[in-house]
Structure 1
Amino acid sequence: MEEKEVKTFQFVVVGGGIAGVTCVEQLSSQTPCADVALITAGPHIKAVTNYRQMSRTLEEFDVEEQPSSILQEKFPNLSVIHSAVRSLDTKSHRVQTADGRYFGYNKLCICSGGRPKLLSQDNPHVLGIRDTDSAQEFQKRLSNARRIVVVGNGGIALELVYEVEGCDVIWAVKDKSIGNTFFDAGAAQFLIPSLEADKPAAAAPCKRLRYTTEEPTPEAAQTFTADRHSRGGSSASTESGSALGPDWHQGIILKGSEQVTRRVSVEYQCEVENIFTSKDHLTSSQGTHRHENESWPVYIQLTNGKTFGCDFIVSATGVVPNSEPFINGNTFAVAEDGGLCVDDHMLTSEPDVYAAGDVCTACWEHSPLWQQMRLWTQARQMGWYAGRCMAAHASTQPIELDFCFELFSHVTRFFNYKVVLLGKFNGQGLERDHELLVRCTKGHEYVKVILSRGRMVGAVLIGETDLEETFENLILNQMDLTPYGEDLLNPNIDIEDYFD
């Protein structure tokens, strides 16, 4: 084989998303004399802006798409290479890009993110929403749509069903309640009225006694109708790039062709059985669907026996780690979920190769209060920590696991409510003897804490509760809360002063 010319860098990072860009920023600032390269397929990168540290582990930030030239202007030691990666040879320490060039590295960090798990890869009526291109395509199609079907129960699906107006929305979820990734059934019931136009007035707080098992509450009525007027907005023109950031729907109009009415129908505990065209539907008798006399571009049959016609289907069923281009020809340890296994220094099983963000799986022994979830906050934290580890290892300096991996914490917004998740917020991996305390004020707030042997190990806070820092401290300190009993959530007691 003819030997190609290889340009070698001390540090090479693959991926222009939050993990990759944060890693590059950390490396470039910590090692200003080192040659750093960022390999990214798109002309734009995802940058963290308006970063705010809310508490020891909670953080808020915006994600902004920027031209990569901004990074190069900021860091003179950084080179940005615009190309996808074709292959990686860990033995020779070099990466081949899609345009045929080779780049050597002393240390490499793979931050290639994830790719959508689409219901169908080649059906033109199935749309995944992952990057800015697909979000714009969704906006374009929605403007002419009378009805869409949203399949999935994660963050993208939750945002879509709340934001879309002027369109009939059928929401197919595989679980007994909405938002199963983030909430229990009680929190789901708290949020469901937000699908109605008229928000309920805040009521007096009601407090449930502690209980030891969480039984799903009866499902709310499966159909909600609302008359909404368009809130307007402006269309944002952006280039294709990495995954969308939080609040990706801000600034684009998500309105269908119907002028007033929006209708959301939730189909619980079902998955997709089949997808077929209008022609196939006319020649078959599969299932039942509403508006028998109408013809639709595509039909979707669910495992609950129902079939719906619609203008298009949104596949919002999560992502899988985008690790394939790097695995071929190498001997990476790969986790069950397809992610590259990394240790507590973000190192893979291949020498001098690190990984961060959605592409990796944290395979070290976790803190009892932390778990990996492929979220923007963890992409930023992992990229930042990976950059620190690479710089420390290059100078043979010791480095300890960052404190952000001590406690799981995430803040976001769903259905226009602030949502804070702390620790084992859904009782993940806990023994059955854990206890729950819940306080719910309809239309205002939902507070749930998880206690194990009298110590707080997790919390869900929906609404402007102002309890996140207090609860974070109680979880980290592992204080015995048994003496406080149900007063822990007594709305008449200022809990912040209680534990000041």
Structure 2
Amino acid sequence: MAAAPGVARSRFVVVGGGIAGVTCAEKLAMEFPSEDIFLMTTSPVIKAVTNFKQVSKTLEEFDVEEQPSSLLEKRYPNIKVIQSGVKQLKSDEHKIFTEDGKEYMYEKLCLCAGAKPKLIFEGNPYVLGIRDTDSAQAFQKNLAQSERIVVVGNGGIALELVYEIHGCEVIWAIKDKAIGNTFFDAGAAEFLIPKLTAEKRETPIECKRTKYTMEGSEEKERRRAASDKLGSALGPDWHEGLCLKGTKEFSHKVHIETLCEVKKIYLQQEFIQLQRTSLTFPKEEKNVEPDEVLWPVYVELTNGKIYGCDFIVSATGVVPNVKPFLDGNNFAVGEDGGLNVDKHMHTSLPDIYAAGDICTASWEPSPVWHQVVVLGKYNAQGLGLDHELMLRCTKGQEYVKVVMQNGRMMGAVLIGETDLEETFENLILNQMDLSAYGEDLLNPDIDIEDYFD
């Protein structure tokens, strides 16, 4: 395939400088050392996976470092980083057009452009989304000057955010009955609530999951200003290295509003005007101190309550960044708007693949697989009434729940230092008949790991 004059050509083009894109480019660079790999990203920094370790059959452990793209090019001489966003894709011509006016031809294309925050209100200066390291740094800066914030959302970032913040009052608005229902059941939520509302912070335990490190310098701040607003996903432990402290001396002060969403946001002057028109606003809960000062912004919830705060965190998920690629291309997309991919990460169009938050798995998953950070069908998803639950809970220390069906483990929720992750993962994957063990499966006096080593 010959390229027209002025059009660069590469056998492999990867779009996106996050973990998915960089890992894809690195793999291609190793497998095809004689081929040039084009990696397109709007950011001058990329996310590189380091210290990779296979913990078990399906669990992996690794660090993610944010690095200048020049380091990637130094490690892999056949990778060429193109710092520009994608303006248009013409899949029938195997062409990519970038925002800086250049054209690139490819044989194989992998789209790893990630996602963007799904903000509750676009364009409001007091609504902050947390999606990548840039927005996390902006959040830290705003929090340092705040006395009260409102957090909206019930996903992973919201959970960790509410727990990690200290020195600032948090009003947490969720649309569900219990916190964290994406990740665990109502019982686990009740187990965790005392930790969220405890006045005194516990000594943090060593993190066993993926860690993200960020370099710090004035040069980096300068680069951040010009970086991609979409950014790369933070993943777990995004808060490590950040000082999530407000202006107050207390530790945790969390008030949870359930079964509600944000109805409207008022700026300070709008709120003052509403008060002057003699509108009656509901009183706040008795365990929330009445406002004695004017706040920069006010949030009205669908349950009728109104809270003033310094700013609002919209932790309400993301939207796949497919917009630059859909126009003129007949991609099949999933319910969440992501590009449908098969088991080989192939999209519906020839020679185009996708990975990361931009895509949606369209294959039939394993009977014991579910996309969350817990194990298997942790909440009996799809099992109907034909299942039973086993529970072990020590207040303030651990919460262990397993889902059993026909004597086989189908899922589990593990909170605390249980050391059962690998054992339970194997039991779910191999579907061993555990009927003979009965309730001893969760007996704290029996070292269940010894049975199945």
Q: TM-score, normalised by structure 1?
A: 0.81
Which letter does structure 2 place at the counterpart of 1:15? G
Match of 2:379 in 1: 426
Which residues of 2 match residues 307-386 of structure 1 at below 5 A?
A: 307-372=306-371
Which residues of 2 match residues 158-173 of structure 1 at below 5 A?
A: 158-173=159-174
Q: Provide the rounded CA distance (Å) in 2 between the counterparts of 1:119 and 1:257.
A: 26
Match of 2:77 in 1: 76
Match of 1:303 in 2: 302
Q: Which of 461, 467, 479 does residue 414 from structure 2 map onto?
A: 461
Q: CA deviation at 1:15?
A: 0.5
Provide the secondary structure at the position in 2 that maps to 1:258. Answer: coil
Q: CA deviation at 1:122?
A: 0.6
Provide the secondary structure at the position in 2 that maps to 1:246. Answer: coil
Provide the secondary structure at the position in 2 that maps to 1:326. Answer: helix
Q: Which has the higher contact order (CA 8 A, sep 6+)?
A: 1
RMSD (Å) for aligned C-alpha atoms = 2.0
Provide the secondary structure at the position in 1 that maps to 2:241. Answer: coil
Which letter does structure 2 place at the counterpart of 1:174? K
Q: Provide the rounded CA distance (Å) in 2 between the counterparts of 1:353 and 1:429.
A: 32
Match of 1:253 in 2: 243
Q: CA deviation at 1:26?
A: 1.1
Is 1:178 the counterpart of 2:168? The answer is no
Preserved contact between residue 147 and residue 246 of structure 2 (Cα < 8 Å): yes
Structure 2 spans left out of the alignment, 5+ residues: 205-213
Match of 2:267 in 1: 277
Preserved contact between residue 235 and residue 253 of structure 1 (Cα < 8 Å): no
Match of 2:208 in 1: none
Which whole-Å deviations, capped at 9, do the CAs of 1:65-120 have from their partners, x for residues lacking one? 11111111111111110011111000000111111111111000000111110011
Which letter does structure 2 place at the counterpart of 1:316? A
Match of 1:188 in 2: 189
Structure 1 spans left out of the alignment, 5+ residues: 198-225, 374-409, 411-420
**Do the aligned partners of residues 229 and 189 (structure 1) sit closer, same or farther apart at CA in structure 2, a change above 3 Å counting?**
closer
**Do the aligned partners of residues 228 and 485 (structure 1) sit closer, same or farther apart at CA in structure 2, a change above 3 Å counting?**
closer
Q: Provide the rounded CA distance (Å) in 2 between the counterparts of 1:372 and 1:362.
A: 10
Which letter does structure 1 place at the counterpart of 2:253? R
Match of 1:394 in 2: none
Which whole-Å deviations, capped at 9, do the CAs of 1:147-194 have from their partners, x for residues lacking one? 000001111111111111111111111111111111101111111121
Provide the secondary structure at the position in 1 that maps to 2:92. Answer: coil
Match of 2:232 in 1: 242
Provide the secondary structure at the position in 2 that maps to 1:91. Answer: helix
Which letter does structure 2 place at the counterpart of 1:297? P
Preserved contact between residue 63 and residue 245 of structure 1 (Cα < 8 Å): no
Match of 1:263 in 2: 253
Match of 1:6 in 2: 7
Which letter does structure 2 place at the counterpart of 1:457? M
**Do the aligned partners of residues 103 and 287 (structure 1) sit closer, same or farther apart at CA in structure 2, a change above 3 Å counting?**
farther
Which whole-Å deviations, capped at 9, do the CAs of 1:418-459 have from their partners, x for residues lacking one? xxx211122222222121111111222111111122211111
Which whole-Å deviations, capped at 9, do the CAs of 1:290-336 have from their partners, x for residues lacking one? 53442111000111111000000000001111111101110000111
Q: Provide the rounded CA distance (Å) in 2 between the counterparts of 1:282 and 1:259.
A: 29
**Do the aligned partners of residues 282 and 229 (structure 1) sit closer, same or farther apart at CA in structure 2, a change above 3 Å counting?**
farther
Q: CA deviation at 1:61?
A: 1.9
Q: Provide the rounded CA distance (Å) in 2 between the counterparts of 1:427 and 1:293.
A: 47
**Do the aligned partners of residues 111 and 5 (structure 1) sit closer, same or farther apart at CA in structure 2, a change above 3 Å counting?**
same
Provide the secondary structure at the position in 2 that maps to 1:461. Answer: strand
Aligned length: 422
Q: Percent identity at matched positions?
A: 63
Provide the secondary structure at the position in 2 that maps to 1:153. Answer: coil
Preserved contact between residue 132 and residue 234 of structure 2 (Cα < 8 Å): yes
Which letter does structure 2 place at the counterpart of 1:244? L
Q: Provide the rounded CA distance (Å) in 2 between the counterparts of 1:362 and 1:321.
A: 13
Preserved contact between residue 15 and residue 112 of structure 1 (Cα < 8 Å): yes
**Do the aligned partners of residues 228 and 455 (structure 1) sit closer, same or farther apart at CA in structure 2, a change above 3 Å counting?**
closer
